[in-house]
Amino acid sequence: MKYLCIVTAAIELGAGVALLGVPAAAGELLFGEPLTGAAALILARIGGVALISLAVACWFARSETQSRAARGLIAAMLLYNVATSALLAYAGVYLRLHGIALCPGAVLHAAMAAWCMTCLARRSTQRSLENK
């Protein structure tokens, strides 16, 4: 779980800084078209701050492997990664958006979701063995 938190912190910090600092360019990379309009840019920047917050939480939880809070963080990351992978896939397949980072982003989030599931399952197995 330590490495999952470290990798997540690095990935989401990068994405968050990109959305916060250059949201139009981040939109171009993901969707093949820039984010336009004041509302889209503000919403992207709010998303960037949220991703930076996730990165900070993961960084501080990187050495916490046994607590319920750490498991809660991994469960929240699982939800985030599953939803993000699905939304990026939807954007590509149904909305026909095709930025250079769209497919890799969807695959990356699917892989991160699988890693989260593995960590959660491993912790459940360890707890059930400890209780026997």
Residue 47, SS3 per DSSP: helix
Alpha-carbon distance 92 to 74, whole Å? 27
Alpha-carbon distance 27 to 42, whole Å? 13
Model confidence band, residue 1 (pLDDT cutoffs 50, 70, 90): confident
Model confidence band, residue 125 (pLDDT cutoffs 50, 70, 90): low
Domain boundaries along the sequence of the chain: 2-130
Q: What is the pLDDT of residue 128?
A: 54
Q: For the chain, what is the mean pLDDT?
A: 92
Pick the closest to residue 10 from 61, 52, 44 (CA basis): 52
pTM above 0.85, yes or no: yes
Query: Per residue in 46-70, pLDDT tens?
Result: 999 999 999 999 999 999 877 899 8
Please check the confidence at residue 129 and state whether its pLDDT lies above 70.
no
Max intra-chain CA distance, the chain: 58
Q: What is the pLDDT of residue 66?
A: 77
